[in-house]
Amino acid sequence: MNTESKKIIIGLVGEKLAGKDTTANYLVTKYGAGHFRFTHILDAILEDLDMPISRKNEIDLGLSLRKIFGPHVLVEALGHRVNKSWEKIIVVNGIRMDELEVVKNWGAKVIYVTAPVELRFERDRNRKEKDDDGVMDFDSFKAQETGPTEAGIPDLGKQADFRIDNTGSLEELYRKVDEIVIQVNKQ
């Protein structure tokens, strides 16, 4: 990754359905940001394999790739995509495990987007992005958060530069994002 570029890189870390995608999509719409998700890479592979794009398959594939090719295989692949991007603002969405350190070394400012588990479960009931959205009961939803790619997210959040508690309206979320963009632009 070329860290000498003049790009503003914003990393997003947070629990599933906390609002990372909504934050990223807002940055794309309002600021013309490029949006790069770790799951873009995983979903492309799953699609080529004619496998369902589900959270479980993404997790299993990501863990397998890390085990075989090393812990930074996904962040390095994403780094190549980011480096080729022409956008002034880049959003790196879905940081997990030890990828945070790598993304911060690119010069990224990291935002921890979080929300209570009950609110995130309710969002899961209403979203149909992945094949397994809306099918888990609350206990299964909570249990998934103890998995290897999810359990460390709150600790990663403590290392973030900014925190958004996404418990209000979309307008509140957007206002918080705008405030962070102003701060990042001043740095």
Closest to 8 measured CA to CA, from 26, 29, 31: 31
Alpha carbons 122 and 16: distance in angstroms, whole number: 12
Q: pLDDT tens digits, residue range 57-108?
A: 999 999 999 999 999 999 999 999 999 999 999 999 999 878 999 999 999 9
Those residues of the chain that have pLDDT short of 70 are: 1-5, 131-134
Burial of 162 (0-12, 13-18, 19+ CB in 10 A): middle
Enumerate the β-bridge partners of residue 9: 90
CA–CA separation, 72 and 108 (whole Å): 16
- CATH code at 8-186: 3.40.50.300
* Domain residue ranges of the chain, discontinuous segments joined by +: 8-186
